[in-house]
Structure 1
Amino acid sequence: MTTSDFDDLLAANRDFAAHFELAGFDGVARAGVAIVTCMDSRIDPLGMVGLAPGDAKIFRNPGGRVTDQALEALVLGVHLLNVQRILVIPHTRCAMASATLEEVRERVGASAGQDVSWQTFNMVPDQRAALADDVHKVVSHPLIPDRVKVGGFVYDVDTGLLNPVV
């Protein structure tokens, strides 16, 4: 690695640090919110619900799925970091929900120049059913108390709207 590959980002970081306002913050979710969503760069998890850095815990992965790691993060958030509401938010036009496993493997294989048939990608053939399943995973988890409110929404990447589903 050469730092020159990252000069633009390091310059932006210096500007960010010059205006940094979270020094000494204890890391709790000030608004009591946790969001599980996709890694898609069209999603601004805080902005789409009117929050700011420090207000929420964010867990992102391909497809915005409630994985074992997401559940671990949510349990910690609920018990240690002030999380009282959880939003599970996949989105429209998601590559994980609009392609097949073979299509994704083919595209990644072409880009990598090698066989990727061994690579697991967690495709989402039915986004609404997967969202209902993910919300159920959260509400039925023995370490997520009933007092925690959980909702499932689909984020529309073309309008910016959250559409309640579960």
Structure 2
Amino acid sequence: MDYIDTLMRRNVEFAGNGFNPGLRMMPTSRSLIIGCLDPRVDPVDIFKLAPGEVGIFRNVGGRVNPAVFETLRILRTVALAAGGDIGPDWNLVVLHHTDCGIKRCYCHEPQILAHHMGVTLAELDSLEINDPYKAVALDVAALRSSADVFGGYTISGLVYDVATGKVEIVVPPSRVTEAATPHHSP
């Protein structure tokens, strides 16, 4: 049996025993997490999240890159079209982790990583790729200063230690105000 067969069998079990047709499109906690693709750092597992509780973006390194900003704009458009909004009283959590594979890309294929991050090769060093604690602070600062992060998000930065399973708050939650962040029209 190949892996797709395993997935299909699991889906049949889910559809019969775990499916909840009442889940809403927007997360019940009004929260979004930006995290890494690394399977050791699944926010659903490490925070014991319930289905539909949080929206999760995952990319290499869990970094705030041009695709994250584009996704935030698209999500706001989707929410507005559905008669709601994203922003006021929402949480935006940046989750980095120790022993991240992004460091290997930085060493072996920096031009690919520069493209992923939307910077030049010369600017890549300033992104603190080798230090998740400094990198999460940079990413939170990028979100707080962006016109794509509108309407009062509370933004925080966390680092998960893959050796202990513990999460540390590196950048405490702080609300972005409309005055501090220019409004971006969808």
Scaled to the shorter chain, the TM-score interval is: 0.7 to 0.9
Unaligned runs of 5+ in 1: 106-116
Compute the TM-score of the two structures, normalised by the length of structure 2: 0.69
C-alpha distance in 2 between matches for 1:70 and 1:27: 19
What is the Cα deviation at residue 50 of structure 1? 3.5
- Corresponding residue pairs, total: 150
Is 1:18 paired with 2:23? no
C-alpha distance in 2 between matches for 1:68 and 1:120: 14
- Written as runs of structure 1 = structure 2, the 5 A alignment for 1:31-42 is 31-42=29-40
- Written as runs of structure 1 = structure 2, the 5 A alignment for 1:117-136 is 120-122=112-114, 124-136=129-141
Match of 1:157 in 2: 162
Match of 2:55 in 1: 57
Identity over aligned pairs, percent: 31
RMSD between aligned alpha carbons? Answer: 2.6
The residue identity in structure 2 corresponding to 1:93 is D
What is the Cα deviation at residue 128 of structure 1? 2.8
* Deviations 1:104-137 (CA, angstroms, capped at 9, x unpaired): x4xxxxxxxxxxx9x6135823333322221112
Q: Aligned to 2:93, what secondary structure does the other structure show?
A: strand
Residue 34 of structure 1 contacts residue 74 of structure 1 at CA under 8 Å; is this kept in 2? no
Decide whether aligned partners of structure 1 residues 149 and 5 sit closer, same or farther in structure 2, where only a CA change above 3 A counts. closer
Residue 157 of structure 2 contacts residue 169 of structure 2 at CA under 8 Å; is this kept in 1? yes
Unaligned runs of 5+ in 2: 80-84, 115-123, 172-186
Is 1:142 paired with 2:140? no
What is the Cα deviation at residue 156 of structure 1? 1.0
